[in-house]
Structure formats: C-alpha cells, structure tokens
Amino acid sequence: MDGNGRWATAHGLSRSAGHEAGLRTARDIVEAAVREGVGTLTLYAFSSDNWKRPSAEVTALMRLFRRALIGEAKRCLQNGVRLTILGRRDRLPSSLRHTVEQVESLTASGSRMHLRVAVDYSARDAMLRAAAAMRGENVTRDGFTELLARVDHDAMPAREVDLVVRTGGEQRLSDFLLWECAYAELLFVQKMWPEFDAEDLAEALADFRSRNRRFGLAPEQVAS
C-alpha cells in the first residue's frame, strides 16, 4: 500500500490525510477482493523500518491502525473475512495489541477470505528469528515455513504468495514476504495507493491469470 504520503503532498494535504485516504482504499479493495474470490489478501501497512519515520507520524499511524481495526471488525464479520495481524507485536502499544487480539478472536470464523495486515513486519528479521529457533535441526522447506508462521503470528503458513501488487511506482519488494514470494508474480503500478480501486484490482488479477507460471519446469511440461 505505497504512496499515501506522496499522494497527500501532491494534493496539498497532510501525510495523515494521506493515510486516512489509504485506509478508505484498503476498505474498498478488501470488499472487491472478496467479490473477486481472492482466498488470502495481505496488506503491507507498516514495515519494521517505518519506525524510523518522525515520531508524530508513527504515533498517528498506530492510532489509525487501532481505530481501523475497531471500525472494520464488524464489516469483516459481516463479509465472512478473517482478519489477522502479521508481524511483531511486542513493540506495538499495549492498547493496539489488545485490540488485535479482540479482532482476531471476533473474526476467527470468517471463511470467505483471510485478510492479513502486516504491521511491524520484516521478512529478513522473521527469517532470522526462525533460523534461531531451529537450534541446529535439519529443517525442511515446509518446516521452515511453519517456523516463520510461529514467529510472525501467521495463521495460515502453508500458502505461498501468488501475486504481489505494489502501488506508488516503486519496483522493489521492500522486505515483504521474501520467503513466501519465491515464485510470486510481480506487478508494479504507477498509481498511488489512494488512487487504486476495484477496477485496478480486477485488471491485476486478469493480468495474473494470463501469465505462464512454470515453477522451474520447461514450457512443454507445463503445457502437458
């Protein structure tokens, strides 16, 4: 969800207003994803590196996250969406941690779509914590995936990422789900996140379905 701040600056607004606009877009995209039949949607809301931003902006974001969770919990429940938070929790404000636990419990029965919001998330840090937990064991790929799930509170670790859509014109992964994105298709969009809409999501999914995914196989093997 990249480009909230730049979108706000371009429109003569505060960065906080940009994040508010980004929240409205997130709500619309979640509902569109449910209609499109998406099984799992992960939104990258706050990376571990984002703690380096000005303290006033970070504080405002933490308040926005908590308000968003409270406001969207009922909507998720009505739409059959299970909501979980991916990432570290020990550095989040205690009130936000408590809200996370409440919302996850409330929406646990959602079966139409699993919505994951990455907050204080770093793929590299998660892999380091998982590696430390191995304690010299001979761990398989599946086993390492399960370890990653445990260190980052991931409720559904078995699912690899199919498609990454990054808004804002940047063309990099920025420490996002690096292990799970080993064979993900990548789509970089020039639009800022507040400008991204349901039609853009539909186009991204159509583009994904048109791609030839080989997973290391030869083209003729895939065709057969």
> What structural domains and CATH numbers belong to the chain?
4-121+157-207 (3.40.1180.10)
Q: Report the residue count for the chain.
A: 224
What pTM was computed for the model? 0.92
What confidence score (pLDDT) does residue 156 get?
Answer: 60
For the segment 100-124, what is each residue's pLDDT rounded down to a tens digit?
999 999 999 999 999 999 999 999 9
Residues marked active site are found at 2, 50
Is the pLDDT score of 158 beyond 70?
Answer: no
State the pLDDT at residue 142: 86
- C-alpha to C-alpha distance for 224 and 207, rounded to whole angstroms: 22
